Homo-oligomer: A and B are copies of this chain.
Amino acid sequence: MKDQVHAAARRARIAAATLALTTRADKDAALHAMADALVAGTPAILEANAVDVETARSAGTGENVIDRLRLDADRVGAFAQGLRDIAGLPDPVGEVVRGSTLPNGLRMQQIRVPMGVIGMIYEGRPNVTADAAAICLKAGSAVLLRGSSSAARSNAAIIDIMRDAVAGTGLPADVIQQIPADDRSSATHLMQARGLVDLVIPRGGAGLIRAVVEESTVPVIETGVGNCHVYVDADADLDMALDIVLNAKTHRTSVCNAAESLLVHQAVADSFVPRVVEALQGAGVTVHGDAAFCGVDADVVPATDDDYAAEYLSLDISARVVESIDEAIAHIRRFSSGHTEAIVTSSLAASTRFTSGVDSAAVMVNASTRFTDGGELGFGAEIGISTQKLHARGPMGLTEMTTTTYVVTGDGHIR
């Protein structure tokens, strides 16, 4: 398996060298060809998907997981539209990030260049397959796609169609390759293909991400675990706070930018805690609270530190009353996964203190945590949300899939 993964990575490196020299026009043409081919190939994709779904069902997989796995013509159409949208975005490659003429006459430019070969290790939804291939191609990098075994046939169908379309436009098909998913070791070999793979991005649950971070020798961008907080300040508009808490918790529970924890300043606890508990319970949410929360309703479950640390991804929320904004910041610094925190306040001082005091990829002021999303922020494409501080933090689009090089031009300059 190691030989197979390394051979794929070597082919990817060769293909990437060609792709690095490909113009935006040619890359966009390939993306449109891929989109057209996905639409035309919908029957083959759905046929492969039906086998994956049937296999999952026979194995007793839960309906919510099967729902994420299942494709239909609309979903495949959405993949294709996603590819066309990416074709419409500016090409990050070639951007001059900075440049100057040095005192000795040397002309220095820092230029954005492709990453090279990117490995994606992911679970679940086959949409990641099309998205990641398109984002990497547009950013000038080859991609090695290692999805889950449960979606292996769907992914294979999607990848075969995209490869044929790429080859049909004259680019090397090996800019997009599938890494076999039938053996866990293929993921390990991919993340340890140091010197052959430039970057590995894991997308999936906390267990997958931790395994990649711990075992990879290739640089990794960690994505997506979101224990997101909403803090309702002493100076909050409580109607706004209620709307934001409900939206952040219940708009979609299975996503990383959903709220998992609620902190309420004691100055507004008496008026706000009963309201928010009633509203959350009315929306089907189980509240795991401290003594103040437990005191207002018998259905509030006493919260433990495990609750405060949890990314529920379900209709559950942990909740606590804090004595001050600094206590809220300290709580978040202790328990947060560094994804997104929100403050609801009318106070400029509180907003400033909160945004500079917490240490997360995104901070929302009077807005739902759900806005930490590449599409919502106008980036146009998103390959994941980074919760680490290195390279990229927050939603990652095309720019984050590139690196830079310094080009220094002289006239025989020596030291």
Residue numbers of A with Cβ under 8 A of B are 17, 20-21, 100, 102-103, 106, 108, 110, 113, 115-116, 194, 198-199, 213-214, 217, 219-221, 237, 240, 243-244, 247-248, 251, 333, 351, 355-357, 359-368, 370-372, 376-378, 388-391, 393-395, 403-415
Contact = CB atoms under 8 A, between A and B. Distances in A.
Contacts of A391: 390-391
Summarize A's interface: helix, strand, loop or mixed. Answer: mixed
Nearest to A406: B362
A91 to B, nearest CB: 14
Contact of A371 (B113, B359, B371, B415): B415
Contact of A409 (B113, B367, B410, B413): B367
Pairs A-B, 7 closest by C-beta atoms? A367-B410, A247-B414, A389-B403, A391-B391, A240-B412, A367-B413, A362-B406
A392 to B, nearest CB: 8
Given A198-B389, A405-B361, A405-B394, A376 B415 contact: yes
Contact of A359 (B116, B194, B407, B410): B116
8 contacts: A106-B371, A199-B389, A214-B217, A244-B412, A247-B415, A370-B415, A371-B410, A395-B406
A371 B411 CA distance: 13
A154 B13 CA distance: 45
B357 A17 contact: yes
Nearest to A394: B406
Number of copies: 2
Contacts of A405: 355, 359-363, 393-394
Given A103-B378, A243-B414, A355-B405, 18 more contacts: A21-B356, A100-B378, A116-B389, A219-B220, A219-B389, A362-B405, A362-B407, A363-B405, A363-B408, A364-B408, A364-B409, A366-B410, A367-B408, A367-B414, A370-B415, A372-B408, A377-B406, A394-B404
B368 A415 contact: yes
B244 A365 contact: no
A251 B413 CA distance: 13
Nearest to A355: B407
A363 B371 CA distance: 40
Give the residue among A240, A368, A391, A415 with the most B Cβ atoms within 10 A.
Answer: A415
Contacts of A194: 213
Contacts of A244: 412, 414
A216 to B, nearest CB: 9
A235 to B, nearest CB: 14
B378 A412 contact: no
A348 to B, nearest CB: 11
A404 B409 contact: no
Contacts of A411: 366-367
A367 B106 contact: yes
Give the residue among A113, A365, A408 with the most B Cβ atoms within 10 A.
Answer: A408
A102 B377 contact: yes
A366 B412 contact: yes
Nearest to A344: B412
Nearest to A358: B405
Nearest to A101: B378
Give the residue among A213, A217, A367, A371 with the most B Cβ atoms within 10 A.
Answer: A367
